[in-house]
Amino acid sequence: MTLTIQFAANSAQWEEYEPLLRDALDARGLDYTLSTDVPPDQVDYIVYSPDSKVKDFTPFTRLKAVLNLWAGVEKVVGNQTLTVPLCRMVDDAGLTQGMVEWVTGHALRHHLGMDAHIQNPDHKWTPKPPPLARERKVAMLGLGELGQACAAQLVALGFDVHGWSRTEKSVNGVTCHHGNDGLIDALTDAQIIVLLLPDTPATTNVINSNTLDLTAKGAFLINPGRGPLIDDDALIAALDSGQIAHATLDVFRIEPLPQDHPFWAHPQVTITPHIASATRPKTAAQVVAMNIHRNETGEGLLHVVDRTAGY
């Protein structure tokens, strides 16, 4: 039977995705129709992003799965009208690789103290070599697809990487912690903290005045995860006191970050506009086709979101 696939992600992306999805679906030998506009009761699969116009899944009576183009699912995971499997984007060749590059770049910026040399208006000659990576503890909060890949790169560079997850994990080269006590162990004396946790009720404000006090004095915070992971006021206080030397923030509670938010004017904050890692259409289309093919051949969907855990 011919499958009906609706592209219901951000409509501006259709032009770019359509040929890539067709190539990927053809390569899997699937018999399908692909369109942005299909009667809901005929749709088998929805290619989705949280900025889609589709908010009510009730009319999609024969839907088999929703394939999210984003890794983060906080905007759709609680949708009570969605009762079929929701898959999130896991794409080693695109999304993950982009995140590894972004996190490593920003970690090395702080580790090497590059800013002091890039901005040196008084031409000061201050020969202060940075420590070696192995002398720095990194706390990787989140040891999922992205956290593990970033941790592996930082381990390869020699950093003393500690990771934190909800469930117990074992990751090569990483000292793993989990649960509430594990968070304390991961953060205590950490000099670089990277947030790659999902936005769930359990992770809201995980970075707060208490947890910020655990880090080494003058630590660097890097957040490509989600804005609500951080209590903004507590972070500003920690920056002002010198407890945190610099925060590099890619994601915010409100995006775009409002012009009057104190982060914009703070000299120790670097803001990037939610670009740590974008979904790359070329490789993401392959992931979507692979997952539909798996479901149709009985292999089972990959990357299905756990609705109870919220990610």
Give me the catalytic one of 106, 162, 166, 226.
Answer: 226
**Closest separation between CB of residue 112 and ligand NDP, Å?**
23
- The angle formed by the CA atoms of residues 78, 194 and 198, to the nearest 5 degrees, is 5
Nearer to ligand NDP, 38 or 284 (CB): 284
**Closest separation between CB of residue 311 and ligand NDP, Å?**
5
**Closest separation between CB of residue 159 and ligand NDP, Å?**
18
**Closest separation between CB of residue 188 and ligand NDP, Å?**
16
Residue 198 token pair: 């999902």
Nearer to ligand NDP, 225 or 281 (CB): 225
Binding site for ligand NDP (CB under 6 A): 71-72, 95, 142-147, 164-167, 169, 196-200, 202-203, 224-226, 250-251, 274, 276-277, 311
Is 253 a catalytic site residue? Answer: no
Give me the catalytic one of 253, 261, 274, 294.
Answer: 274
Nearer to ligand NDP, 130 or 310 (CB): 310
**Closest separation between CB of residue 129 and ligand NDP, Å?**
32
Nearer to ligand NDP, 101 or 189 (CB): 101
- Neighbouring CB atoms inside 10 A of 16's CB total 12
Nearer to ligand NDP, 187 or 234 (CB): 187
Residue nearest to ligand NDP (CB): 144
CA 66 to chain centre: 19
- Which residues are annotated as catalytic? 226, 274
